[in-house]
Amino acid sequence: MKISAYCVLLAGLLALPALQGQTQIVGTDYFPAQFEFQELQKVQTDEIIKDERSLTHVKDGALLADAGFEQYAVRTYSVADGGILSIEVVTLKDSKAAYSLLTLLRKSAVAPGPPGEFYSEDGSNLLFARGYYLVRFQGQGPQGLEKRVATSVSNRIGRRETTLPSLISHFPQDGYDASSVHYFLGPRSYDSFSTSQSGNRLKFEPGMEVAQARYTLNNQAGMLSLINFPTHEMAEGYQESMGTPAANAGYRVYVKRAGPLLGVLEGSFDPATADNLLGSIHFTYAIKWIYDKNNRSTGTIWGVPMPILHTVVGGIVLVALLCMLSLAAGTGLALFRVWLRRYAPHNILDRPERTEMTRLKLGPPKHWDQPAQN
């Protein structure tokens, strides 16, 4: 029995290198594992960049830096049919930056994933955004290879919270061309990809976000730019600094402010159509109660969640009980002193030396005769 056990252990040790050659532990680079796809043969280049100054030789490196680049990793594979496939994984500061780059670098309309939360595919070029990651595939390979590899990379990144920027939700739906959306977070991206036939260029300020989309309504076309500012005052000041926008023949510019949002509509729209589009831009504040960490469902009364209401009512009841206890204690102490003076007048609390008062005797003022002055 002992010899058999030793044989089994020895066989397992001998088989371990072979197993390690066939499997690869998933790390933090998110690239496909070795031998995961037969079409991907040899790794030709493998590079990781963490310094912004090293992005100068990277395609669209200036845009990556403008969006909030943190790390750039690229790996190039030789494909079985003689082609080349490159995979770029860009780590950014937040999900807004990833979505912004997706809308700027795409070759086709953005669609909901998978792969990723949002993606764009055009022939052999595919991009997707998931959380604060942007992944780009470029090259030539068998049909459908990019999509399968992209799904693998997306699964390796895992579940990441990705929400559509709130500014996109403020676009009016009438005449809206969703495939034309561009979302800007910095001046470099805006200068490179924004469009304006009237020549009105926006000046980027700190904390400013811009989203653009094409509109076609009532046989009239143009571009709507939505600008989001951190405060109402900044939006109002920016609108005043714009002055009266210039307009070309048959090409008008309209501006409307709604809270911290500023809408700039330019195109061949008549005043009635422009008023219809800009009039549907609204801004309202929303209050979100964050209480239950376990996400348990709770009811509401007057729009207030029950746990919050229980806390408020409990606090009021506690204060009322403390007030009643204070009154009861004061009344009891007063009755005790009255009883003590009546049945024990010479007690230690009512001795004369403790209760006597020092009084200042004041009488009428005395008038002194003043000697006559010579």
Evaluate if residue 226 carries a pLDDT over 70. Answer: yes
Assign a CATH topology to domain 27-157.
Protein Transport Mog1p; Chain A (3.40.1000)
Distance between CA atoms of residues 92 and 72, nearest Å: 9
In terms of Cβ atoms closer than 10 Å to its own Cβ (0-12, 13-18, 19+), residue 239 is middle
Q: Which residues contact 268 (CB under 8 A, 6 or more apart)?
A: 220, 221, 222, 250, 251, 252
Helix spans in 178-247 (H): 187-193, 232-242
Percent of the chain with pLDDT over 70: 75
pLDDT number for residue 129: 92
Give residue 134's pLDDT band: very low, low, confident or very high (50, 70, 90).
very high
- pLDDT digit string, tens, across residues 60-104: 888 888 888 899 999 999 888 778 889 999 999 889 999 999 999
pLDDT number for residue 361: 67
Q: Are 132 and 93 in contact (CB under 8 A)?
A: yes
Evaluate if residue 228 carries a pLDDT over 70. Answer: yes
Q: Which residues contact 348 (CB under 8 A, 6 or more apart)?
A: 354
Q: Are 289 and 274 in contact (CB under 8 A)?
A: no
Q: Are 109 and 145 in contact (CB under 8 A)?
A: no
Evaluate if residue 248 carries a pLDDT over 80. Answer: no
Average pLDDT, the chain: 79
pLDDT number for residue 373: 54
- pLDDT digit string, tens, across residues 315-346: 899 999 999 999 999 998 888 878 877 777 76
Give me the residues paired with residue 1 across strands: none
What stretches of 26-132 adopt beta strand conformation (E)?
Answer: 40-49, 69-79, 84-92, 111-112, 118-122, 125-130
Taking alpha carbons only, the member of 232, 188, 187 closest to residue 206 is 187
Rg (CA), the chain: 38
Q: Which residues contact 288 (CB under 8 A, 6 or more apart)?
A: none
Evaluate if residue 288 carries a pLDDT over 60. Answer: no
pLDDT number for residue 324: 93
Tell me the CA distances in angstroms from 225 to 207, 252, 322, 323, one per residue in order: 16, 14, 58, 58
pLDDT number for residue 358: 64
Structure tokens at 126: 């595919």
The DSSP code sequence of 259-294 is TTEEEEEEES--HHHHHHHHTT------------TT
Give residue 8's pLDDT band: very low, low, confident or very high (50, 70, 90).
very low
**pTM of the full predicted structure?**
0.66
**Residue bearing tokens 């049945």:** 343
Distance between CA atoms of residues 115 and 264, nearest Å: 34
Evaluate if residue 289 carries a pLDDT over 60. Answer: no
